[in-house]
Structure 1
């Protein structure tokens, strides 16, 4: 047991040295498959994954016992508990397992780094885990850095800056890396992996082989994201404005009450309002009339007591409460 642990550690160190030195890791034509549910892994991404399915744990064990390489493939449907070969996309990312930790609940936590995209040619379902024959997909670099490509790269970077200024969360360290990237493919992959896109959108970008076409699609998605952020910001601003308006009205009413109290007329006003309110309740008006009376009473409470409009409302309320809404007399139809 100790011997195996030591062997894994040596392989891990060797892989780390290759990655840190920028060397190409030799990727075999056959790898174990790790289906992932709600994320698309891109090359150069480093992320933790929690694995609980037995078939997936077996695939991890197989990878750890050899070269630590595994094919990370996203499921077509997140809710599929036991995916078959038809439930998996045909393009994924080869990753190296950098760390592995067994959890008390039986799950496994791994830290993986994406290395390269790969297409599945054939899946072997025999045994206790899926294996795939793969074809490595390398980015086809443009023959020359044309003005159009340079303009596209600059435009995408500016779009991302605008999205961040509107509230999109991207880590500062990632922004520094993006600012210094001039490869269309890597730039597209790095931005996509940090935008929080839906799984379907991220998988669509992963499957675009030409790096410039991929970056153009990222530009389209960034435009859409900016539009969403602008609308979201406007909605939040309007909501904040309504709250500020309500708070301002409350503050002004409190000031008005303080002024009225200072002038000595608040007690009379309160007494008048309460008297009308009691009369309205005692009148037992129909529902529609009751709502109108409450509305006019609320208006009266906000008016200056000596204004002409206040006098009109006062007269109207007097008339409403004097009508015998709930009183009736017995008709005498005897004409003799």
Structure 2
């Protein structure tokens, strides 16, 4: 059983009396979601056991138990694969979508605890204990209309891990449940604030960089039209032409062009501008395609060293030995 779409609508608490809940319920395992009392949830059904369960439940007009699986990938869950607390539910709508595919809508009625499984085939059945909320004598809790339902409604819709939602479902004391939900909301609020701050900073930096680049391109076009293209722009264009004519290896040419495009967007007063330009000029000055023939005549090398350098006999000796 998988969650088809999250539709949780407020419903009045006390939808079923404790004495009207059977002691044995058919159990519908739920993947990737936690179902709360007072909620309405559409589900897609494809497992054979679940199809047999809903057919019997609709035929006999009986309530069922919805329990979240511990591991969503488990195809045939047993007692150890299910949480101990679930929700009594009524099937309010059933549609046949295909031969082995059904869509249904269930309404949560009350909490229950699984005591033991009494049947595994053709579907799971368990002996259960209906659980009622523990209402503390607290003026804060008493001042809220239906506090348990409010906490369940918030927990069902807040984006937190399944384990934390299950913890809310298993918290029977209303005051403790409301504290737990408040902690979840505060933590989610801080996460959203931090995400929003980071997004704003990233967008601000991107917008600033894009705006500067766009304005510089406009300024360059205007100067070209007026015949006032600055000396720096002309020199960068010349540098680009030099790099293009060097016949660089593909990987080196890619890096050089990337650095040149970046250089055009950097203010000339920036220290980074000087570093980038020096790097590109160094690339342009290297003899990438020029070659000379090696002269390995040691005697000729000695004559050249003696002619160009006075004394330094030890140094020249070491050079010739090398």
How far the C-alpha of 1:299 sits from its partner, in A, is: 4.4
Structure 1 unaligned runs (5+)?
Answer: 1-18, 154-180, 305-309
The 5 Å alignment of 1:265-304 reads: 265-266=228-229, 272-283=235-246, 299=263
1:139 matched to 2:141: no
Moved more, 68-77 or 97-106: 97-106
CA contact (8 A) 1:269 1:301 kept: no
1:328 matched to 2:303: no
**What CA distance in whole angstroms lies between the structure 1 residues aligned with 2:151 and 2:83?**
20
Question: Over aligned residue pairs, what C-alpha RMSD do you find?
Answer: 3.7
**What CA distance in whole angstroms lies between the structure 2 residues aligned with 1:60 and 1:51?**
9
**What CA distance in whole angstroms lies between the structure 2 residues aligned with 1:319 and 1:218?**
63
1:24 matched to 2:16: yes
Q: TM-score, length-normalised on structure 2?
A: 0.74
**What CA distance in whole angstroms lies between the structure 2 residues aligned with 1:194 and 1:243?**
34
Aligned with residue 67 of structure 2, among 68, 73, 77: 73
CA contact (8 A) 2:16 2:110 kept: no
Deviations 1:169-219 (A, max 9, x none): xxxxxxxxxxxx533322211110111322111111111110110111111
CA contact (8 A) 1:300 1:314 kept: no
CA contact (8 A) 1:33 1:71 kept: yes
1:40 matched to 2:34: yes
Change (3 A) 1:22 1:220: closer
1:216 matched to 2:201: no
Aligned with residue 246 of structure 1, among 192, 202, 209: 209
**What CA distance in whole angstroms lies between the structure 2 residues aligned with 1:188 and 1:210?**
11
Change (3 A) 1:125 1:298: closer
The 5 Å alignment of 1:54-133 reads: 54-133=48-127
Moved more, 321-330 or 290-299: 290-299
SS in structure 2 opposite 1:79?
Answer: coil
Counterpart in the other structure of 1:263:
226
Deviations 1:11-67 (A, max 9, x none): xxxxxxxx8896635211111111111111100000111111111111112211223
Structure 2 unaligned runs (5+)?
Answer: 1-10, 304-322
Aligned with residue 191 of structure 2, among 219, 224, 228: 228
**What CA distance in whole angstroms lies between the structure 1 residues aligned with 2:191 and 2:156?**
19
Change (3 A) 1:214 1:289: same
Change (3 A) 1:315 1:85: closer
CA contact (8 A) 2:116 2:126 kept: yes
**What CA distance in whole angstroms lies between the structure 2 residues aligned with 1:224 and 1:186?**
21
Change (3 A) 1:228 1:314: closer
Change (3 A) 1:320 1:253: same
Moved more, 91-100 or 238-247: 238-247
Change (3 A) 1:218 1:333: same
**What CA distance in whole angstroms lies between the structure 1 residues aligned with 2:25 and 2:187?**
37
Change (3 A) 1:31 1:195: same
How far the C-alpha of 1:69 sits from its partner, in A, is: 0.5
Counterpart in the other structure of 1:200:
163
**What CA distance in whole angstroms lies between the structure 1 residues aligned with 2:70 and 2:282?**
71
